């Protein structure tokens, strides 16, 4: 019995299968994509803590000049509005929680940008 190599055909099948899987995932909404900002960037909005005392957060990848509503949800709730700079970034202080525990900080932009993070334990001061 003589076996013929199928490496080329097998490689083409894998490439086609991967392309179809990517197309199906994108069509079903499984892919992540950010709308380009006014500067043409497709960077995803991100939010991260800078410090806990005082509680400072930094956001990147928002739309330039976008108004951003920040909400701190945990043992108590605080909110604050800020605005992204011409690069789509901001850093701001938030009211320090008066109790220990987990909290989630959410940033919702007026043009659809969204990011959040969770601190599992806030240090008591």
Domain membership flag for residue 106 = yes
Residue 115 bridge partners (DSSP): 107
Which of 15-19, 57-61, 114-118 is the least confident region? 15-19
**Is the pLDDT score of 1 beyond 50?**
yes
Number of domains in the chain: 1
Q: What is the pLDDT of residue 27?
A: 34
Contact by Cβ (8 Å): 101, 121? yes
Contact by Cβ (8 Å): 107, 66? no
Question: Listing from the earlier edge strand, what are the strands of the sheet with 67-73?
Answer: 77-83, 67-73, 101-109, 114-122
Range of the domain at 66: 46-122
Domain membership flag for residue 30 = no
Q: Per-residue pLDDT tens for 27-84?
A: 333 333 344 444 445 579 999 999 988 889 999 999 999 999 999 988 778 899 999 9
Give me the CATH number covering residue 73. Answer: 2.60.40.230
> What pTM, to 2 d.p., does this model score?
0.63
């Amino acid at each position: 019995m003589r076996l013929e190599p199928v490496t080329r055909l097998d490689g083409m099948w894998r490439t086609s299968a991967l392309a179809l899987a990517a197309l199906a995932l994108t069509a079903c909404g499984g892919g992540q994509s950010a709308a380009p900002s006014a500067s043409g960037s497709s960077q995803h909005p991100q939010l991260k803590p800078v410090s806990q005392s005082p509680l400072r957060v930094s956001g990147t990848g928002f739309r330039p000049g976008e108004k951003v509503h920040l909400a701190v949800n945990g043992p108590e709730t605080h909110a604050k509005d800020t605005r992204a700079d011409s690069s789509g970034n901001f850093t701001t202080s938030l009211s320090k929680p008066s109790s220990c525990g987990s909290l989630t900080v959410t940033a919702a932009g007026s043009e659809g940008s969204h990011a959040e993070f969770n601190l599992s334990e806030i240090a008591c001061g």
